[in-house]
Amino acid sequence: MKCFKLFLLCCSFSISSLAAETPTIRLGVQATGTLAWELLLLEANDRTITSGFKIEPLSLANSEAGKIALQSGTVDMIVSDWIWVSRMRSEGSDFTFVPYSTISGSLMVPGNSPIKSLAGLKGKKLGIAGGELDKNWLLLQALAQRENIDLNANVDKVFGAPPLINEQLKQGRVDAALNYWHFGAKLETQGFRQLLDGKSIVKSLGIQESVPVLGYVFKQSWADKHKTGLNSFFQAGKEAKQRLCTSDADWKKVLPLTQTDAVAEQNKLRQRYCEGAVSAWGKPEQQAAERIYGLLRAVSDNQLTGKSAHVQPGTFWTPN
């Protein structure tokens, strides 16, 4: 955390000297998020100076704090999901979404666990990061329903914060854990086994396209005034991600932000992070997002998505 705060100070200091005419992006950043890795690399390579935009980072405690900051106007942009964007648009907001990553969560079990499939969860205790409306949990339920398994009726559920869920699994207090991807990645290096991940769940539901889970979220009205600077930022972020995945020297620059000194964990985090790169984003992926939306809407009984039957127009940003 100390390293992350130092990064924010350095980033804010250096970008304040950029030309006044370049647009400033007030960006909400979680210390535990991979966006901080990319921003650090952009700063280390002076990428912001040559790209026509300025970044003013604001440290966020968690994703909910980011949503509050965006809604209040404290920041211009956060990383969040398109489900939330669609719901906010249905309620009158003009938030919009640009893809950031396709990786989400993973279902982990001990390496010697007898659980080999969803059916093996029957009668077991399952730790779930987040709450009843966590997207990974909802999609897991949708998949189980296709196999005639009612996870709500047949599984003892334990909800909690991601670090707590990992500890519950390590201590044997739960038999399996559904957690966010970076928590699962660290478990993989400690003898635990990935039963399913977010991508495999979606594919098992009959959706073959790789649909981004997280993206940059911002107001469309604000974006329309800063198209050139925003597109430069998105391109710089894409280049930073590629460099983190291809350059060992650049990867070493962000190691302090991985919050682990274990080389095996660092390597697994890098692998999973790179697997989340967005390789395609067009009509097929957006149509697949609509199908995912329908599944989430049905399983959550509209509680996650709101009453709208479809993804709201404008949810996905398409600059003219």
Angle between helix 227-246 and 263-275 (nearest 10): 130
* Residue 18: predicted pLDDT: 39
Q: Are 257 and 270 spatial neighbours (Cβ–Cβ below 8 Å)?
A: no
What is the residue-wise DSSP string for 196-263? EEHHHHHHHTT--S----EEEEEEHHHHTT-HHHHHHHHHHHHHHHHHHHH-HHHHHHHGGGGS---H
Q: CA 273, CA 242: separation in Å to the nearest integer?
A: 11
pLDDT digits (tens, 9 = 90+) for 174-205: 999 999 999 999 999 999 999 999 999 999 99
* Residue 218: predicted pLDDT: 98
Q: CA 305, CA 315: separation in Å to the nearest integer?
A: 13
pLDDT digits (tens, 9 = 90+) for 130-142: 899 999 999 999 9
Q: CA 109, CA 178: separation in Å to the nearest integer?
A: 9
Query: Over pLDDT 70: what percentage of the chain?
Result: 91
How far CA 130 is from CA of 104, 158, 267, in Å, comes to 13, 10, 26
* Residue 20: predicted pLDDT: 40
Q: CA 126, CA 273: separation in Å to the nearest integer?
A: 25
Q: CA 135, CA 292: separation in Å to the nearest integer?
A: 10
Kindly give, in sequence order, each residue whose CB lies less than 8 Å from that of residue 61, ignoring residues fewer than 6 positions away: 30
Structural domains of the chain ordered from first start: 2-102+211-300 (3.40.190.10), 105-204 (3.40.190.10)
pLDDT digits (tens, 9 = 90+) for 2-25: 555 545 544 543 443 334 457 899
Could you say which residues of the chain have pLDDT below 50? 6, 9-10, 12-20, 49
Q: Torsion over CA of 143, 146, 147 and 150, rounded to 10 degrees?
A: 70
* Residue 47: predicted pLDDT: 60
Residue closest to 183 by CA, chosen among 172, 174, 170, 200: 170
* Residue 51: predicted pLDDT: 66
pLDDT digits (tens, 9 = 90+) for 158-177: 999 999 999 999 999 999 99
Amino acid identity, position 269: L
- Please tell me whether residue 177 adopts helix, strand or coil conformation: strand
The tokens of 186 are what?
């660290």
* Residue 71: predicted pLDDT: 97
Angle between helix 181-188 and 263-275 (nearest 10): 140
* Residue 114: predicted pLDDT: 97
* Cut 0.95: pTM above it: no
- Please tell me whether residue 107 adopts helix, strand or coil conformation: strand
Q: CA 94, CA 222: separation in Å to the nearest integer?
A: 9
